[in-house]
Structure 1
């Protein structure tokens, strides 16, 4: 680990303008093609904690990182059904690659709600060229996740930012680092900072046992000067926007992709390697009644989770188009329900993999445990026990969900 050396960083910058995707169908087809490539070497990258630099370059150059850029700014303004499908598809090939653009895409919608016209034009054009946004959002050691201690103050025509961030997925390999920061009055800002800005240090110290190649480590911000035109005041949690639901639906889509991968890995292993149990008195493990029923259960649960995810995506689109209290609340509730189901199937599927595949599937040479490690790590992002509470409180007591990025 340690800091990314300059040679690797140069490889991570766009060499040419990214492809311009023309339709949602093209976006999904590109995602499928990339997933087939990314699947190759995913286990090795995980095992060696090798950052997917070349794969990430191909991913952002494909145009998929720009699919939420609105049509009036040169993008296709893809629906969230399409965004969700892209995230599921890439995550099923490589969970880390699936997660890295999560905050990038959410930021594109933050600009819709909170950016000025000048900021939208500038940053959307950067994304269409192939630039990536990392993130410097979360902190550790504070009272709770929204208790931000990274501070911003005005100095002349610029702002000065100081603080320290963790869980900074994508920052190490991004061209721009949006920093969540607060002023002395508690007002929240998003300060967009070029990767090479003086005082900004990104450390590759992510040591989790799962999602190992997301480089979700530390960002140190020491007297970083940010021009005023790069600073966006955040009001989207005050207004009835689906900002929180957008953040959460991307999480759920990644989990659904992780579940897909675990189930397909299970089916493949059982077909080709697993021996039938002695008491089954059958020639093949694929004839085992209990294994057949278990696969049927997993596939059904995944289908149900993805169906609710699609319903949630439709509601998010509506809440973006018609920003009302009702639409915003409905988006949060449906996304919470999708998050419950995708979390449960991701963990269940990655656990069942070993039960159905057998003891040999645990050998290090297969590295199949990456599916469980990825699912267990990523689903910790937001506690599902609170999703149940929020949904129940909404239907039983008519209590609308809070507005923040974790709901």
Structure 2
């Protein structure tokens, strides 16, 4: 029997986490200004079972659907956009387990999640790496594997108990995923992420010096869940939607509470100035459009998840293709509108709101950083090729030095 997470009562689920989101939001500006990594907020979320919301109820989770997960991540991103991205690899690995047959090994992972353990990312290599090459290697040893190499953009790894590492087998040359425990001295995590946005995601360098990997924790990469590319993108889109919610919130509150007016304005109070209200309305409408677009893409991913055990291969291919296209279309919309909203915010406010003590610039910096992931220009081309020529979208890709 296949256990599926098809949804729960969202308001009941969200009510459990909203007090935590509020605490996270209260300190988000201070963390941004002081560059304080969110170890404590991550702990609050772990202790509340946030990492298990997708697990089936029969396995101790909440049985949340993918639209519910992504909506919850948007609420979290409104509080602090670093946190959903820091947890992206965790939820992707949970999704991978949800797509696997029921087994004792899967139950062990579920129990780890229920104990509060989370997974970070270790996929991308930088430096002198040729396109298609993987320098990080796993080597079989008598009682398991040894992992050697270095990764960058290791999002969430600083907070994680496990790291999901893309590697290559030294014996067969096959590409694999290695799940390595961070609780060993052979795993070194370095806080050297220097991007201008999303500065607190726990990204940076991770080095593996003959780190031990259990025998069953090396998985053929080809066995990963089919809609993984769309899923990873969808977490970023939910984060962009959450940033939009924060922009809308700060625009409305800023205008409502602003007392200084210009002599050539349209009212004696900013909250009554028709031009300023028009800007807030425009921001609100852009955010509404992004949230609706992200929701529709989330539904396409849920369909791909629910069909994963289908006996009809054509139905599986079709659902996954629709999920990838929907995620790409949502990326095009969100990557355009949310950075625009973050800029327009300052037309609703004033020069005093550019002070670093308010950190309102974080919205644009964070949105622009997220929108730079997985180049949107290629998504537009892929969507067009699908609509015109029926060419399947690009599901997986690599990055490296070209010839």
Q: TM-score, normalised by structure 1?
A: 0.88
How far residue 351 of structure 1 moved from its aligned partner, in angstroms, is: 0.9
SS of corresponding position for 1:278: coil
How far residue 72 of structure 1 moved from its aligned partner, in angstroms, is: 4.2
1:153-207: CA deviations, max 9, x gaps?
A: 2222311211101111211121222212122555222211221224211111122
SS of corresponding position for 1:341: helix
Q: How many residues align?
A: 384
Aligned to 2:238: 253
CA RMSD between the two structures: 2.2
Aligned to 1:154: 140
1:76-135: CA deviations, max 9, x gaps?
A: 331111111111001101111232111100111122335882331111110011111122
8 Å CA contact 1:91–1:97 kept in 2: the answer is yes
| Matching of residue 335 in structure 1 with residue 331 in structure 2 | no
Distance 1:147 1:354 in 2: 44
How far residue 250 of structure 1 moved from its aligned partner, in angstroms, is: 0.8
Distance 2:20 2:104 in 1: 33
Distance 1:148 1:284 in 2: 60
Distance 2:265 2:390 in 1: 52
Distance 1:75 1:405 in 2: 32
Aligned to 1:5: none
8 Å CA contact 1:67–1:77 kept in 2: the answer is yes
Change (3 A) 1:68 1:33: same
Instruction: Identify which of 147, 155, 180 aligns with 1:169.
Output: 155
Q: Which runs of 4+ in 1 moved over 6 A?
A: none
Q: Show structure 1 runs of 5+ residues with no match.
A: 1-20
Distance 1:301 1:405 in 2: 30
Aligned to 1:109: 95
8 Å CA contact 2:178–2:217 kept in 1: the answer is yes
Aligned to 2:3: none
1:311-334: CA deviations, max 9, x gaps?
A: 111111111111311110100111
Instruction: Identify which of 299, 302, 305 aligns with 2:284.
Output: 299
Change (3 A) 1:24 1:282: closer
Aligned to 1:57: 43
Change (3 A) 1:362 1:124: same
Distance 1:258 1:145 in 2: 33
8 Å CA contact 2:8–2:65 kept in 1: the answer is no
Aligned to 1:89: 75
Instruction: Identify which of 390, 394, 402 aligns with 1:398.
Output: 390
Between 1:142-151 and 1:91-100, the stretch displaced more is 142-151
8 Å CA contact 1:248–1:405 kept in 2: the answer is no
Q: Show structure 2 runs of 5+ residues with no match.
A: 1-6, 309-315, 399-403
Instruction: Identify which of 169, 175, 188 aligns with 1:188.
Output: 175
| Matching of residue 359 in structure 1 with residue 320 in structure 2 | no
- 5 Å-filtered alignment, 1:218-257, equals 218-236=205-223, 241-257=226-242
Distance 1:144 1:392 in 2: 29
Distance 2:223 2:350 in 1: 49
